[in-house]
Amino acid sequence: VTLQKYHELDEAIEIANDSEYGLVSYVWANDLQTVMTASKEIKAGTVWVNTPLTRDLRAPFGGYKQSGIGRDGLHASIELFTEEKTTMVPTGPLTLPKLGMHNE
């Protein structure tokens, strides 16, 4: 663990973002403005506010920048492990266009 000091919030955010990684981050503060500003500015896949490592399996988990590609979670995991297929079917009788002619 390293301890570093900062003066104002923007300096803290600058230090936090001064990394090629962006997996998770934490904000420990009481005021909403600090929390929301940090959440908006920090480049990381998760911002835990006054919260130790806690996973909601529904929510996406993964990294910004060189901390990864893709996410785990409800939609993201299903996306990774499936292929989507579109099947298009006519809903009634069709007149097929002649080859080389524009479809009216």
Partner 1 sequence: MASANKSINNIEQISDSHNLVRPEKITGVVAGYSTPVQPGTQQLQIICPITEEPLYELQESDADEVNRAVAAARNAFDTTDWPHLSHNERRAILRNVRNAIEAHAAELAAIQTLEVGIPIGGMLGMHLPRTVENFDFFMEVAGTLSGEAYTQTRQYLSVVTREAAGVCVLLSPWNAPTVLVSMKLAAALVTGNTVVIKASEYSPWSLQRFVEIINAAGLPPGVVNLVNGRGHTTGQTLVEHPGVDVIGFVGGTETGKAIMASAAKSLKKVGMELGGKSANIVKPSKWATLLTHPPRSARWHSPGIEIRYCRMLMSLKLTAVNCWPAANSPAALTKATILNQLRCSQTTTAHEFARKKYSGRL
Residues binding partner 1 (CB under 8 A): 1-7, 9, 12-13, 15-16, 19-31, 34, 38, 42, 44, 50, 52-53, 55, 57-58, 61-63, 66-72, 74, 76-78, 80-92, 94
Instruction: Tokens 């990381």: give the residue.
Output: 44
Q: Cβ of residue 70: shortest distance to partner 1, in angstroms?
A: 4
Based on CB atoms, which residue is closest to partner 1, 2 or 99? 2
- Burial class of residue 95 in the structure, from the number of CB atoms within 10 Å of its CB (0-12 exposed, 13-18 middle, 19+ buried): exposed
Find, among 56, 3, 47, the residue nearest to 22 by Cα: 47
Which token pair is 4? Answer: 């570093």
CB of residue 78 to partner 1, shortest distance in Å: 6
